[in-house]
Amino acid sequence: MKIAHKIATALFTVSLLATAGCASTATKSGTGEYVDDTIVTGKVKAAIVNEPTLKATEINVETFKGVVQLSGFVAQPADVAKAGEVARSVKGVSSVKNDIRVK
């Protein structure tokens, strides 16, 4: 019985450490959050591509814990505002940091 108890304790400890390795921190997404952020990034990029007034090749999109960061260079000031508006409209976006600059 003692060996079985030790094995059970060891398995519990290993599973606990494995779970903790997948947990998120303030600077690192957990596995589930990373997948969610990847999906949000893809949806925002698709929304930008589908907006005829924007050039998707000029705008970079990154997501961390639901916060979308836009960056790049556009020709018109209105494009900066439009990109932020489009990103905010995507489901799953909690907020937008718009760092797009006008050329």
**pLDDT, tens digit, 9 for 90 and up, residues 20-37:** 555 555 555 555 556 689
pLDDT of residue 50: 97
Confirm whether pTM is higher than 0.85.
Answer: no
CA distance 85 to 103: 20
Sketch the domain layout of the chain as residue ranges. 26-102
The 10s digit of each residue's pLDDT in 38-94 is: 999 999 999 999 999 999 999 999 999 999 999 999 999 999 999 999 999 999 999
C-alpha 78 chain-centroid distance:
25
Please tell me the predicted confidence (pLDDT) of residue 52. Answer: 96
* Cβ–Cβ under 8 Å, residues 48 and 83: yes
How far is 54 from 76, CA to CA, in rounded Å?
A: 10
Measured CA to CA, the distance from residue 41 to residue 9 in angstroms comes to 41
In CATH, 26-102 is 3.30.1340.30: yes
How far apart CA 1 and CA 78 sit, in angstroms, is 72
**What pLDDT does residue 5 have?**
63
Please tell me the predicted confidence (pLDDT) of residue 87: 98
As a whole number of angstroms, the distance between CA 46 and CA 54 comes to 11
